Structure 1
Amino acid sequence: MAWRDAADSIRAELNNLELTREDDDARSSVTVAGKVGGGGGKEKKLLLRQQSTASCSTVEDGATASVISGSEASSFAPSSTCFSSTSSSSSRAAQHGRESQRKAILRAGFRDLVGVAGDDDSRLLYLSLAVLPDGHEFTVKDAAVLLHGDGSARCGDGMAAASAAVAGGDKGGEEREEKAARRVLRVLEARGILTASGGRGGRRKSTSSPSSFRMHEAHSGFAREILLDCPKILGWAVGRWVGFLSSLDAVLFFDPSALARLWSAVEDVGGKGWRDGRPYETALEAIDNYDPLCRVCLVAVAKFRSAEGDWDGASLMWRRLLTVEQRAQEPNVMYPVWELVNAAEKGGKPEEAAAWRRYGRETLNLAMAGRLKEAEQLLRRALTIEEARLGEDDPRVARTLFHLGVCLRVAGRLEEAEEVLWRALDIETAGRGADDLVVARTLHALGLCAKLSSQGGGGDGALEDATELFAHALAIREAKLQPDDASVGQTLFELGVCLRRDGRVQEAEAFLRRALGIKEAAAALEAEGGVAATGAGGAGRALSRRSSSGSSGAGSRGSSGSSSSNRNGVDEDSVGLAMFQLGVCVLQGGRRLEEAETLLRNALDVETQRLGSEDVSVARIAFQHGVCLRRSGRREEAERVLGECVETLEARLGAAHEEVAAAKSMLDLCAATE
């Protein structure tokens, strides 16, 4: 409904506004007329009429708001940069005089709008546009909202538009309102009050590009001054605009940052409290979790709250989305989990962020434990969504690429894993810098791929590549973290293994000793209760229950007989494995057999307790322990240990496996030794 059909009090306030300003205008007109070359009210009226045909530059050009021909233009320029600023009182007085003259012209031009337009819609829209931020681009649809109603069906990509189309709504009425708004906009544009622009008016990207306008900064400030003195018109404008912004259509249609600026501007003119009811959250309560619109609305509201800096509000939306995804037929659990990590970090809650990060890792690990295909599908679906929403070079895309690369590595698809991880590394390096810890994490993951490739005959350069990648990752981690940090220990361990396999035993031993020291210290702290697994909002507790019910116990074997590191894709963090690698390194040195035997025996005890006596990894440790015992002259012990090793390997890998043949050969050597 047009504004002229609204309450009489609105019209009365608008008419009274003209009367209350008449005396000021009359006094100011003398100054204005003298400035532009003499004459009375008739000349001033003629001057203001000429504005309809004069050209006006944009705010950026610093041109005048109410155009005056000739040299007088600079005297009435709205931008403060157009006035010279000096310390003399005469300059300040002159500047004050010019400011008064400028306001007089703006006021007279505002009152003159009714004579040019033939009705009062132009003046009402002029004032109503003051609820928008300075410089904001708005569309014809926005103007129609301010003039004619709540605009709930004007968000071309929103729910109301879709519903109206299905129901055959009053599209003709909407078109008439927009036509009327376009006529008013032409009036304001012709008088230099508005400038046409090529933006989207804060809208998200879409196939259609609505024409947009921008109100001149001088007029925007002047309209706001008047609006704040007119409570009924202010309530009218703010009420209509808030009604529009409060709909889910608006949060779906506007860019999150633009919407945050619009709400901030409303609070500037309408006072605080307009958002206290949290309209989007209230609207979402009416949408069932199984409704297809629920996901898209939750994401939109969460991003809007993030744009506002309301990280708690964003977290609430991401938590509900996580619940929705967990119950979905095709879930995308990782997307809300990583957003929860981001919200907690930005909200200054590092412990909560760490808990969600653990939840994400363990969720992936559970998915990978015998369900690699499911995990890959989960990650590829998340990647497709994120690339479409965020762009291919967004850091969050790199995060999903990283986890997909880990999944592919665990599945043994090393070439695919490396391709994905290199892409993640390129994005991270470009966005974060070459010395960021996230970059170090991806370098470490690439090193694991290269190490595994070298074990599978991936070429002479694979082991060298792995060593270089681990060394690079270690340099970053040592520079950024404490010397005893767990991730430093992980990279020290992997680098030591590569150096040992490359024959650089002394270098390898130094790295492996450091790695073992870090792992032993961490294990001791955890045993004393120094590391507590706490969850964000119950996430940690839920994961603990899920882990205990869905994974095997400490002494059981996995279906493939591989170590836990191979099942979950996370680096080995066992003290026993570090002891084993260091023991083999000392054994290769050939001089300190007693130390080597102690390390290998302790490693065998630890890993047997952790994995069970029939695990393949335990059998491999037993093989090296048997070799060490044989070299030490302890033949009977060596035969016993190697005999158990052969039995386990045959049962797990088959009699024809090359590792079984190697263990039997070593056992035969023991038997042949007198």
Structure 2
Amino acid sequence: YKEAAHLLNDALSIREKTLGKDHPAVAATLNNLAVLYGKRGKYKEAEPLCKRALEIREIVLGKDHPDVAKQLNNLALLCQNQGKYEEVEYYYCRALEIYESCLGPDDPNVAKTKNNLASCYLKQGKYKDAEVLYKEILTRAHVKEFGSVDPIWMHAEEREEMSKSKHRDSAPYAEYGGWATDCKVSSPTVNTTLRNLGALYRRQGKLEAAETLEECAVRSRRQGIDPINQTKVVEILKEGDGTERRRSLGGSVKYENATDGSEEVSMGVEWSGDGSGTLQRSSSLGKIRDVIRRSSEMLVKKLQGNGPLEPRNTR
């Protein structure tokens, strides 16, 4: 990690001198350095780097560009681990607005960002707000797959009501779970949302509804969609309504590649559910090393005159 940090800092210094401080390649290096610090648990050091990368992208690309939304997601992730939930909420809401307006409501980034925002609401005890977002994700996925029919969460709540009535439903699950049987969930985010909303239903005492969604998620996974790094909301929900919750959130968030041609680290980040509040190390360290090595080699070639130098940003 120390070697990687030194290389990235050297690359940052060189790029600032040769390309200008507002060049997209500088933003990419800042982002990579922020990712590295984040993986080491140095969130306070990572945050200003991520903010500077955001400022550059807003200047170069405009405030409504999808790459700006990606940087907002990264920044929200760092702030969330520091418990800065008001800032987290602001960054995720902004990112969500950009994705929806630029890429449309069915873009995978919309569902991912809604899930991230819902996790922020859960950390603050805003269960109703989180529930609304989870239902929006599932409804959109259902409408896209089958058209205007009742989504799975409606069936789950219907089963919950019938379980409490005198005429408790005795029909097999399949009558209510056609969505789980027929629909191959195309996104780990949707499967994760099923589990998250199921955990939230359990928190509310809606056990029948929770079991419906959980079985739906299991059936979907058996069809070949096995989500990686699922959000661990159960730990949060078990803690009650205290004003301060220290358990960190397990989630899947990627530092995406930019569209400006710069090479950036793309890596999954897991929020530990053991109360440590730290990012877990993953095999993605090899990816970080590869990116740094290639970037360093390209910089050396350019400075030696063996490669085309990127145009300097005069903004």
Map 1:372-521 onto structure 2 (within 5 A). 376-454=5-83, 462-516=84-138
Task: Note if contact 1:520-1:575 (Cα within 8 Å) is conserved in structure 2.
Answer: no
Deviations 1:578-602 (A, max 9, x none): 2222222333333x32121232355
Deviations 1:141-193 (A, max 9, x none): xxxxxxxxxxxxxxxxxxxxxxxxxxxxxxxxxxxxxxxxxxxxxxxxxxxxx
Match for residue 583 of structure 1 among 182, 198, 204 = 198
1:397–1:598: structure 2 CA closer, same or farther, 3 Å change rule?
same
- For 2:45 and 2:7, the matched residues in 1 are separated by 17
Q: Which has the higher helix share?
A: 1
Unaligned runs of 5+ in 1: 1-371, 455-461, 524-571, 628-652, 660-674
- For 1:505 and 1:621, the matched residues in 2 are separated by 11
The code of the aligned residue for 1:594 comes to E
1:377–1:498: structure 2 CA closer, same or farther, 3 Å change rule?
same
Unaligned runs of 5+ in 2: 146-186, 239-271, 277-315
- For 1:429 and 1:587, the matched residues in 2 are separated by 42
1:622–1:402: structure 2 CA closer, same or farther, 3 Å change rule?
closer
Task: Note if contact 1:505-1:589 (Cα within 8 Å) is conserved in structure 2.
Answer: no
- For 1:426 and 1:624, the matched residues in 2 are separated by 33
* Structure 1 residue 397: Cα displacement: 0.7
Task: Note if contact 1:604-1:622 (Cα within 8 Å) is conserved in structure 2.
Answer: no
Quick check: which has more Rg, 1 or 2? 1
The code of the aligned residue for 2:120 comes to C
- Identify the residue that residue 270 of structure 1 maps to in structure 2: none
1:611–1:428: structure 2 CA closer, same or farther, 3 Å change rule?
closer
* Structure 1 residue 440: Cα displacement: 1.5
1:597–1:407: structure 2 CA closer, same or farther, 3 Å change rule?
farther
- For 1:573 and 1:404, the matched residues in 2 are separated by 28
Map 1:178-577 onto structure 2 (within 5 A). 376-454=5-83, 462-516=84-138, 573-577=188-192
The number of residues matched between the two structures is 200
- Identify the residue that residue 593 of structure 1 maps to in structure 2: 207
RMSD between aligned residues: 3.9
* Structure 1 residue 388: Cα displacement: 2.2
1:401–1:520: structure 2 CA closer, same or farther, 3 Å change rule?
farther
* TM-score normalised to structure 2 length: 0.52
* TM-score normalised to structure 1 length: 0.26
1:485–1:575: structure 2 CA closer, same or farther, 3 Å change rule?
same
- For 2:235 and 2:54, the matched residues in 1 are separated by 38
1:396–1:517: structure 2 CA closer, same or farther, 3 Å change rule?
farther
Deviations 1:492-535 (A, max 9, x none): 11111112332322221221233346678999xxxxxxxxxxxx
Q: Secondary structure at the match of 1:586?
A: helix
Deviations 1:10-36 (A, max 9, x none): xxxxxxxxxxxxxxxxxxxxxxxxxxx
* Structure 1 residue 489: Cα displacement: 1.5
1:518–1:389: structure 2 CA closer, same or farther, 3 Å change rule?
farther
1:621–1:446: structure 2 CA closer, same or farther, 3 Å change rule?
closer
Q: Which has the higher contact order (CA 8 A, sep 6+)?
A: 2
The code of the aligned residue for 2:201 comes to V
